[in-house]
Copies of this chain bind each other. A is one copy, B any other.
Amino acid sequence: MVYNFKFDQQNVRKHHYFLLLSLIQKHKKISRSQLSKFTGISNTTVGKITKSLMKDDLIIEKGQTEGEIGRKASLLEINPKGAFIIGISIDINSIKIALVTLNGEIVDKTQVACKVKHHPRETLDQLITLTKQFIENKPKKILAIGISMPGLISWPDGLAVRVPQFNWHEVEVRDYLKDKLNFDIFVDNDVRSVLLAEYLFGNLNNMHNSTCIYIGSGVGSSVMINGQIVRGHNNMLGEIGHTTMNPNGALCDCGRLGCLQTYICISEIEKQTQRSMDEVILAYKNNEDWAVRVIDRAKNYLGIAISNIICTYNPEAVLLAGPLIERFPEITKNLEADTKKHIWSPLKESFLLLKASLGEDSDIIGASALVLNNFLKNTANNEKR
């Protein structure tokens, strides 16, 4: 058992260095003196540290404060050309790779089709080749590589424990890629990375307690508490797909009754209706009885699920994300009002219901967010090889 809580002089300096960097990132533009006031760090030290951040090309000086009497403060901001992140998403049939700034902006991007299912080794080898090509003619400073993919991923060791969508089991994604690519690699699932992305770059700015409900082929959730993604004892925190919503409900794949997944996820709705999700939604729009029944039931249970989530996590915001949410806005129509009707009254006004805001590239931005978050917190990723 080793505790790494000590602060020797170097650690203090490093801590302050990244603290100031993350404040600059968060505030977009901020002056030295404001940094000093906000943190309590003396102006002397702020001056020294910002000088070293500039020497490292992580920040630049741009513009000044306006008005007021006295000398104007010059503003500091992230150097958009100083350091980059490689964000990668692995999807059921494609790999996306992007070069992303520390502000979450995509500078360059490539996407290729790819048979992911059943082929972990081939997929990763293809990913490695692609990444090498992608990086080759970019002589930029790359901090690390972030990877977003579905499934149960263990943190921080980046082991894909179970990926039902790909039929992968126990694939050592991080270690395999780290060996071949020689970068630090951060891997997490789509549910967590989209939440982190919205927190750092999107709709959840400064909401330190929030929950994401992600609905695609299954249902999952991710949770941020006090600004940290929390993962539970076995990285399975938020696995709400198999919470029992109705003990007398329908039989789930897992052999139990009335799991949330039996009411609201694409694969189950398709299975139950024997149609594609697009057909179901079309029929729903045309007010066809069978479709209205299944979609209204889904919406009803989604409302209950949100209400239960709010009771259990008491978040400031609930973020809805995932293919079902993003491709079929019908599902979330009137959802906020419906949820407020369902929910226990003391919590009625406690939360915001938001939809993912980062669009189709949210996955690669999320992958980059994994890296940025760890870089700004200055947490290494070298454990347990």
Contact = CB atoms under 8 A, between A and B. Distances in A.
Given A255-B345, A256-B344, 4 more contacts: A6-B40, A8-B41, A237-B314, A240-B311
B3 A19 contact: yes
Interface stretch (A135-143, A195-203, A228-236): A228-236
Tally of this chain's copies: 2
A79 to B, nearest CB: 22
B315 A39 contact: no
A23 interface: yes
Interface stretch (A122-130, A243-251, A361-369): A243-251
A346 to B, nearest CB: 7
B7 A38 contact: no
A113 to B, nearest CB: 31
8 residue pairs, one from A and one from B, having the closest CB atoms: A232-B314, A242-B344, A233-B316, A237-B314, A236-B314, A243-B308, A209-B233, A7-B12
A363 to B, nearest CB: 24
Given A246-B246, A345-B254, A233 B41 contact: no
Interface in A6-62: 6-8, 12, 15-16, 19, 23, 37-41
A193 B376 CA distance: 33
B344 A6 contact: no
Given A209-B232, A225-B225, A312 B240 contact: yes
Contacts of A12: 7, 12
Interface of A: 1-8, 12, 15-16, 19, 23, 37-41, 152, 162, 209, 221, 225-226, 228, 230-240, 242-248, 254-256, 259, 300-301, 304, 307-309, 311-316, 342, 344-347, 350-351
A40 B6 CA distance: 7
Nearest to A349: B234
Contacts of A232: 209, 225, 313-315
A317 B11 CA distance: 34
Contacts of A209: 232-233
Contacts of A19: 3, 5-6
Contacts of A347: 234, 236, 239
